[in-house]
Amino acid sequence: MGFREWKQAVSHGDSDRAIAARMGTNQMRVSRHLSDTPVAETVIAFSRTYGVSPVEGLIAAGFLTRAEVQRASVREALQDATAEELSAEVGRRLTTDAAPAPRSRRERLSKGLREE
């Protein structure tokens, strides 16, 4: 879905005039800043006005990718986690990953592993 379609979906088809009124700005700003070349600040204001995540707006506008947002979220979660939480997660993963599932011949060959 492109930005224009996202904007229409979020605003439920509101016109630029209706969007501007709801945002408390002028129609010219909405027409220029929420067009094919959106302006990040206006995308954020629009998103907040319509009660959706500004992050989703920035992704729809092409300023961010979903992968970038996910990496930042993971990094922040790791930084916020306590040492005890990190330790418990590492322990859980080591226990879960202790006996890896056997790989098929095709999978081993596609990964460049030699036959066992």
Angle at 74 between CA 71 and CA 79, to 5 degrees: 125
Q: Count how many Cα atoms sit within 13 Å of the Cα of residue 6 in the half-sphere of its side chain.
A: 21
For residues 37-70, one letter each, b for 16 or more C-beta atoms within 10 angstroms of the residue's C-beta and e for the rest, the string is ebbeebbbbbbeebebeebbbbbbbebbeeeeee
Tokens, residue 19: 């969007």
What integer pLDDT is reported at residue 23 of this predicted model?
97
Tens of pLDDT, residue by residue over 1-33, are 789 999 999 999 999 999 999 999 999 999 999
Residue 116 has pLDDT above 50, yes or no: no
Q: What is the pLDDT of residues 74-106, one digit of tens each?
A: 888 888 989 998 899 899 888 876 655 656 666
